[in-house]
Chain A
């Protein structure tokens, strides 16, 4: 496979992940993750580890599963009415961790997350990175990290329901 093909396939995969979130197909979104996946949104700029500093999200697949289960039960006051979200990905790049066939890949992109809820539209910009595990022609997400430009901002985070 050429670099262009790989890049194209990875990008299509990331776009699909974004679309599943945007369309609230949350179980399908979760199915993109490996059972041992780590989902991390740091709370400090250039945070080294989730173990020595607080995080905005630091979750296992089971916790993500509870997160979306909660939204699907439609019991959360936060998500009533439901937020509408768009994930925009640009600057997609792929770094092969190893050249071996079937080896994991690292992908990164710039992320713009727009959320409309009731009378308010909020914008968050950040850098996303994924550790992807090939699965046939497709991929699974073994780890995802999103660094918000304003991760450490004092005010303005308010609250989040749908993941990035």
Chain B
């Protein structure tokens, strides 16, 4: 397949979104190579704890071993191929296949086979290991590629998003809580990553919830949950000049973040109630006044680690995009607890994801609808090319190799396709 032919200047061929052969190649060349977010260490604190996750095309088990280390194993019996585990999480001393009871240690070694006398020697098989597993300050990533960039190098300019979430925790650590929301849509996975940093769509796609919130100004003075909803819905109603002031910062590898969102919008960067005042005090005790102010002032909405992670440090939430087919995607929405903070601070995180990202959300449901319309429309062969030139004249190359653009630019899409081509052509 001539991958380079799918990009032409600042346009993308529709096959990049619709062709199952392109999707299969993406799975091999992107999702079997890049570092993909798996889990947080707080999900597997004790020996024997495991979680069942998707890592690109495969189902894998992240297991805490007795020596405290982490194993990342394929969930496929080395004998006849049965899935070993079906529960999303649990604790086990050994991993045992339900079919013929082949039994594995927590590091994947085969330790027991029934009727061993029938074998000339004990089979030298074990659960297949994922090539690399690495943790960045508790956030665990896996990569199917034995070689390549280390995790830190891969994250590059986006380590600051993880650092900021951790700096926002009074104890300096975070833990996962609250389960996971899952959003399915019948569209290509790249649409989610592009839309998360598309600041022109909110005024149109989200107009219904913007107008609904404008119609109820009293909601801004109501209980905390209502207030948070109204603020979030209203935030999408910023005008183009305001969105322009939200800069996009794009990095090599396809990563990008948008800054300046909360200052310009109606969601205040800080709050002035007693719970927040106390929280702020905790941060000052940890970091000192100047750093605490900087931590809270870091004002970014979506931080994207390409190909499939979006982090919101301000609300301690993360989304992970799981491609299922060229036209099917699931987005997992995850919450983190800021260790040491009062429970009311965690309410904000739960409310944020419920209101913004549930399949019933007044916001996300309209995004999903638009992705599905695009996917349907792109089946039409009358026009092959998708134009992504918006704002191209404003892209400003920085000395460190990153690029700055205005919020209304399609810089992020261009940057993601530059990374896409790099992965796909080798």
Contact = CB atoms under 8 A, between A and B. Distances in A.
Interface in B209-240: 209, 211-213, 215-216, 218-219, 222-223, 225-226, 229-230, 233
B358 A43 contact: yes
Given A63-B226, A67-B362, A77-B366, A155 B330 contact: yes
B330 A154 contact: yes
Given A73-B212, A158-B185, A158-B368, A54 B229 contact: no
A62 B354 CA distance: 15
A118 to B, nearest CB: 10
B133 to A, nearest CB: 23
Contacts of B136: none
| Among B333, B335, B350, B373: residue with most chain A CB under 10 A | B350
A63 B330 CA distance: 26
Interface string B329-348: 01001010000000100010
Contact of B178 (A52, A155, A159): A52
B207 A75 contact: yes
Contacts of A77: 205, 366, 369-370, 373
Query: B interface, by DSSP: helix, strand, loop or mixed?
Result: helix
**Interface range, A side:** 35 or more
Contact of A63 (B179, B229, B350, B373): B229
B115 to A, nearest CB: 37
B371 to A, nearest CB: 10
A10 B242 CA distance: 51
Contacts of B378: none
Contacts of A70: 208-209, 211-212, 362
B210 to A, nearest CB: 9
Interface string B9-35: 000000000000000000000000000
Contacts of B360: 41, 56-57, 159-160, 163
Q: Which of B218, B333, B365 is most buried by chain A, counting CB atoms within 10 A of its CB?
A: B365
A163 B211 CA distance: 19
A54 B350 contact: yes
Contacts of A156: 184
Interface residues of B, number: 50
A28 interface: no
Contacts of A56: 181, 354, 358-360
Q: Which of B330, B351, B362 has the most CB of A within 10 A?
A: B362
Interface string A34-62: 00000001011000001111111111101
B182 interface: yes
Interface in B73-132: none
Given A60-B226, A69-B212, A69-B216, A54 B180 contact: yes
Contacts of A53: 177-179, 350
Contacts of A154: 182, 330
28 contacts: A43-B181, A51-B350, A53-B350, A54-B335, A54-B358, A55-B350, A55-B354, A56-B360, A60-B226, A62-B226, A62-B230, A63-B226, A66-B216, A69-B211, A69-B212, A70-B211, A71-B208, A76-B208, A76-B209, A76-B369, A152-B179, A153-B182, A154-B330, A155-B324, A157-B182, A158-B186, A159-B185, A159-B359
